[in-house]
A and B are shown apart, each in its own frame.
Chain A
Amino acid sequence: MLIFAIARVIPGDPARIALGPNATAEQVENLRLRLHLDQPLSVQYGHFIADLAQGDLGVSLYTNRPVTQDIAQFLPATLELIIVAGLMMILIGLPLGVISARYRGSWADSTIRIFTLLGVSAPSFVWAVILMLLFAYFLPLFPIAGRLADSMTVPTVTGFLLIDTLLAGNIKAFGNAAWHLVLPAFALALSGIGQAARLTRSNMVETYDKPYIEMAESYGFPEGRIARRYAFRPSLIPSLTIIGLDFAAMLGNAFLVEAVFAWPGLSRYGVAVILRKDLNAIVGTVLIISALFLIVNIVVDFLIAMINPRIRLSQRAQ
């Protein structure tokens, strides 16, 4: 409802913008009628909800296609970027935190702490620009923009290039797509990596002072095992919460990173439709992002409940 309201109060007549300056007053009036724009806001809202319930987000005035179809085209690119960034966050951030905590006070710990501090101290679009300049422009190790080399094409099945290239059996294109993903995903993940690592470290260092660690040491359990099962596992619960929040925040940050790397994702679409005051498309885009946000949060809560026996058991008892 909030989304709906915000989209309506942006100044400007959507029908006018959609049809361009050359349209006649009659054409504009027709479109307004079709979109129920002539009716009071409360009635407009009623139409909107009724359509939404049928999975219909209306037609985009910009592309002239159903909004759902537009989103289905642009969303996979964004999701692919975010999922890869999320995996980086988990697969790089958590191990860095664990190493840092296990060898606390060592040079490895100091190096990691400096690196992660850098990661959290600048927003992802700044990192996007820096990484792009360093590793795509000055040192052309990675492609500067886009998802796939222009010379390559793969049939669209899922929209996820990593999956589609594999489905097509085109390993070369898969490598190319992955190569294109590295910089934008890393830029997007950096602050999350930093936060996950720093939080994991501080939680684990705290856990290392717990009596059950001393007990594990006094029983001579192997050090690596103590790090994993005794210090890391109980510290994972708060880390996971932060990772979930960061993951959700990436949905927003992806907008700017996509812009920097000319990534043909939902943000490109979102910016374009906002500029054109394409009501249905704006509402649809924001709705999808909110829905993803919700889903991520639910999944994280679920994961936390799964690894925390206290929550798991209290739920079962109810």
Chain B
Amino acid sequence: MTVWGIIRKEVAYDRAGFVVGLLCITVAIASLVGAVTLLRAHKLRTERIIAEKEAETRRQMERMEDDYRLIMRGMGYNVLVLHEDQQIGELRLHGSPTTYMPLDYVYRLATGQIETLNHLLPILQKRVTWPERDREIILCGVLGQVPNYSKPRHLTSEGVYRDPITHTIPDGTVDLGHDIALAEGLSQGESLRLFDADFTVNRVRRRQGNEDDMTIWCSLEKVQGWFGLEGKINGILALECLCALDAVGAVERDVSSILPDVQVLEMGTRVRTRAEARTRAAEAHQEAVTAELLYQAGLRGEREVLVRLLVPLVMLAAAVWIFFLILGNVRARQGEIAVMRTVGVTGGTIMFIFLAKAALMGLAGGGAGYFAGLAVGALWEGVPLWSTDFSSLFSAGLLGLVLVMAPALAVAAGWVPSVKAARMDPAVILSRE
């Protein structure tokens, strides 16, 4: 006969009493674990909602960027860098800039660490009469496109420019605007004379609905030579990059930090409007995320208050209940206590018997309470049992804590009755009958 044997048999005998105590601890621990699980599940759900919203925002942004890139590629350049002295009225009147700047400017921009511009194209543009055909045209000399060297993504690993918007016009060829080609009956591969030189048509450009339709493009050197403007250009076309969407000012600041005597003219407002709309959409999404976060935080706050009030109350109630339960058990067992004392069992052993029983109650109730609380908390938050979400709510740490805490609670609650049992005077009990 061992102490544990006595405990086991007593528990089996007074099964109801033990089960009531166990249930009591189960409820207390379940309320604690349930509350923790509820808060945890809520956090999980909030994180998921936020992640979804953020992913949606990201998708929107990416789509916007794609759109933007496509539109940009389709529409060409949207920024024109001009000499500071260039009157815009003059530009409009003549159909081309009338003030010149050194070709070197484009290289200074390309190597000037400018964040706001991509794809620089130096041009020398003049409104002239095509002598051979007696027709007003815009002649545009272009060099190959110059990448923004501060943006490595424009360069291949060999340092070659990766994705130009405009292609270089080969020597001895010209590109024709749509209307000119139509009016002169010229198409790709045909020959023409321009300023006493022979050219073949490299390409007829698509209809743009602007002065480009009346433009002939040829190499920059040729135009410079015809007009005695060696080393000069009168504009740099550029593509404003996405990050500068809401700030022409930013482009201007950037450019003038490198080239103090230029001005920036913006074109292509349609692109801009669309991009801005998308930016606003992204901002709205971000606001929605923030609002959701705030709402969920409020909800969590309310629940935390509830938990902070409810859980200690339930624990206290459980402790009181167990106190009386064990006290009742000690009273009911006092005959045995007295007999055990007469056969030489010490008070310490008597106390151990009752405390061990309490601890067992706590251990079993703690385990049961943990899983009950986990299930209730999860279901409350709408997490189905046996889902991966549910298993992610399981916490070995909390289970371990509960398995220590519940027996501790039961032992603490049973302490006074157990001491009372240990101090019971067998003589009083035995002489009473």
Q: Do A and B come from one complex?
A: no
> A residues touching B (Cβ–Cβ < 8 Å)?
none
